[in-house]
C-alpha cells in the first residue's frame, strides 16, 4: 500500500470515528417524551412558544423505512426527537409547533431498515443517509455544532437535503 492510499485510509478512519462519536454516543434519537400527531406533526408542550418550524427533507434515495429527526437548542440540549417520520416520493415534511424564538440545530438520519440505529460500515462510516441544518457537509469528520445553528424568530421553513457518504 503506497503512502497516498494509507493517508486516504487514515482520513476515512478519522471521519468514521468522529461520526460514531456524534451519532452513536448520545441517545438523542432514542427518546420520546413528546406527543406526535399524524406521524409528522409534533406539538411540543414544554416550550409553549408561538412559533412553528416546518422542516422539508428532500433527495432521499427511496421511501423505505423512516426518518428520525432531532432538534437541539444552542446549548446542545435535546429539545425534541421525532421518530417514524413517513417518507413519500423520496421526501418528507415535519411540523414542530409551540417553539420559542431562539437558536436551534436539526439533525436527521434515514433509518431505511427500521432498526432504530444509524448503520455504519466496518470502520464506522454511516451507510444510511443523514442531514444537518444549514446542509453542512462533513469534511474529515462531522460538521461543527456551531456551523449547524440557525436562528428562528417567526414561523419558518427549513429545507434540508439528505446526504450520504459513498466511500
Number of residues written out for the chain? 167
- The answer to whether residue 112 sits within a structural domain is yes
What is the structure's pLDDT at 47? Answer: 56
Please give the tally of structural domains in the chain. 1
Give residue-wise pLDDT tens across range 46-59.
557 899 999 999 99
- The answer to whether residue 117 sits within a structural domain is yes
What is the structure's pLDDT at 5? Answer: 59
Full residue range of the structural domain in which residue 111 is found: 3-161
User: In sequence order, which residues have a C-beta less than 8 Å from that of residue 110 and are 6 or more positions away?
Assistant: 60, 61, 65, 66, 67, 87, 128, 129, 130, 162
- The answer to whether residue 7 sits within a structural domain is yes
Give residue-wise pLDDT tens across range 69-116.
999 999 988 888 777 888 999 999 998 888 899 999 999 999 999 998
- The answer to whether residue 15 sits within a structural domain is yes
- The answer to whether residue 166 sits within a structural domain is no
With a pLDDT cut of 70, the percent of the chain lying above it is 72
What is the structure's pLDDT at 81? Answer: 78
- The answer to whether residue 167 sits within a structural domain is no
DSSP 100: P
Amino acid at each position: 500500500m503506497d503512502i497516498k492510499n494509507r493517508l486516504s485510509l487514515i482520513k476515512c478512519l478519522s471521519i468514521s470515528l468522529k461520526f460514531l462519536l456524534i451519532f452513536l454516543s448520545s441517545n438523542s434519537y432514542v427518546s420520546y417524551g413528546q406527543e406526535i400527531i399524524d406521524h409528522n406533526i409534533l406539538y411540543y408542550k414544554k416550550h409553549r412558544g408561538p412559533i412553528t418550524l416546518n422542516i422539508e427533507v428532500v433527495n432521499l434515495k427511496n421511501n423505505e423505512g423512516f426518518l428520525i429527526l432531532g432538534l437541539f437548542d444552542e446549548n446542545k440540549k435535546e429539545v425534541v426527537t421525532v421518530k417514524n417520520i413517513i417518507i413519500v416520493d423520496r421526501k418528507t415534511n415535519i411540523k414542530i409547533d409551540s417553539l420559542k424564538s431562539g437558536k436551534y440545530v436539526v439533525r436527521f438520519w434515514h433509518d431505511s431498515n427500521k432498526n432504530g440505529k444509524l448503520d455504519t460500515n466496518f470502520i464506522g462510516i454511516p451507510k444510511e443517509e443523514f442531514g444537518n441544518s444549514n446542509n453542512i457537509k462533513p469534511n474529515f469528520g462531522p460538521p461543527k455544532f456551531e456551523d449547524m445553528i440557525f436562528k428562528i424568530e417567526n414561523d419558518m421553513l427549513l429545507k434540508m437535503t439528505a446526504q450520504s457518504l459513498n466511500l
